[in-house]
Amino acid sequence: MKESGSNTNIDFEFIAGMVVKWYWVLLIPVTISVFVGIYLIYTSQRFYEARTVILVQPQKLPTDVVRNIIAEDINTRVSTLSQRIKSRTNLEKIIDEFHLFSSHESKDMYMEDKIDTLRRRISFKVTNGRNRNADSFAVTYKGTDPVRVTKITQSLASYIIDENLKLRETQVLGTNSFLEDELETMRKKLVKTETGLKEYRERYMGGLPEQLNSNLRILASLNERLPHARNEVRATKLQLDAVRQKLSLASGTGGPAAAVTDQGKSELERLKEELNVRLKRYTKRHPDVRRLKASIAALEEQPAEEAGPLQEAPKPRAASLLDRQRREILAELAVSEKELTQLKAQIAIYKKRVEDTPRREQELLSLQRDYENIRGAYHSLLGRQLEAQIAVNMEKKQKGEQFRIIDPARVPEKPVEPDMKKIVLFVLAAGLGLGCGVVGLLEFMFQTFRGRRAVESATSVPVIATIPNVEGSGGVRALLWKRVVPISGGAMAFSLIGVFLCLAYLKG
């Protein structure tokens, strides 16, 4: 256990002896790597980077006054603008404008390679605010010429600002155009629905739901008049039958004259009674009243004969009077029957209107509901279209959301590539690693004992005493080889490392 524990300890004596023995092998790779590093410092192409910071400035008018109709958030818009900037068309314009890749080595490059190289040199970095939307973003370009890099960065920033204005104006104009088309389509639908509703009301005028009470009152009034009309027709028919009987008696071949006289008296009394009834209902100018008065006057003008019971009345005059009365009664009957027919027809019409009222109400409600929906959609689109017009005017006057440069691009003085710190670390690590590897390989091939521990570790026998080295009389050459050369080589190597570090600092 003691031996294993002693073996795990680092033998600095062994390491020091190995370094002293193979120092020149260690110095050669380190020196070569230093020269390689110096060569890289002088020959590596330097890239400079210019940066512009653009602020996302919200719209100047309050959102409760003018609502922002652009639904796209700022992050998406910045991503869209970055894709537009990195498009082939725009990159070709930048290459032609600033004469990029015009050197002899780059002339043989394909256009696709130039565009890919330029696309990798452009970068965006977005800074998000509290609401997770971008409140600023940076545009960065990297190239070999610091002045040209600055100009290209400024051109990219101007392009972004102009494209943002065009993009917003295009979006609001497109929204406005879309709303105008939808508004015109909805207006046509509204006019069509209004026309249909108007035609429906005109077609079923008199049978609409709001006219139900009026129809019921009219129907009740017509039903009340119907029995009176029927009674009038019935009475007129009875009167016509009586006149026809009298006419048949008056136009007979024989009969006592007293019978005719009595018949005329009874007819006169009946006409007077009927006249009294008609005067209660009509005025004196009514045709029926005038007709009855004329009939009564005709009967009263007939001379009263006092002849004997065997003397006959003058038949032609009585028959003529009765025939005229019959014609008048027939005319009155035709008028009464026509009135009765019209009354029945009106009752049927109003009855059907009342019966059809529930169906008309459902149809009218359906039409009215469609009209209200289309009307509401039309007014909603009209309000949005007005907002879109206001937004278009706001964008044209540049009162909406805009991009402002808060940190313009400046000419860079220090290159960002290559990274001198990385080159120094890589070169020194490579030189030391190669040297240590070669020393380890030589030590493995040419093994020697260095110190007491090496002997005890190899033989497992404890060392009782050690004899120091006895310096021979090698003279000045041996002294130079053993003392001066190692010191000089080490000093030269460290000097080269110092020069390398100074160059890296100055060039970086």
DSSP code string of 439-508:
HHHHHHHS----SHHHHHHHH--------PPPP---HHHHHIIIIIHHHHHHHHHHHHHHHHHHHHHHH-
CA angle (230 as vertex; 226, 234 as ends), nearest 5:
170
pTM as predicted: 0.53
**2, burial (CB in 10 Å: exposed 0-12, middle 13-18, buried 19+):** exposed
Closest CA to 115 of 95, 144, 143, 97: 95
**Residue 3 reports pLDDT greater than 50:** no
Bridge partner residues of 122 (DSSP): 141
Q: Which two tokens stand for residue 33?
A: 């790597």
Residues 234 and 241: their CA atoms lie apart, in Å, by 11
Bridge partner residues of 50 (DSSP): 141
Residue 310 or 410, more confident? 410
**Residue 460 reports pLDDT greater than 80:** no
Residue 309 per-residue DSSP state: T
What confidence score (pLDDT) does residue 189 get?
93
Closest CA to 40 of 505, 475, 492, 504: 504
What confidence score (pLDDT) does residue 184 get?
93
Q: What is the mean pLDDT of residues 172-200?
A: 90
What confidence score (pLDDT) does residue 66 get?
64
CA angle (258 as vertex; 255, 263 as ends), nearest 5:
90
Residue 220 or 487, more confident? 220
Residue 336 or 69, more confident? 336
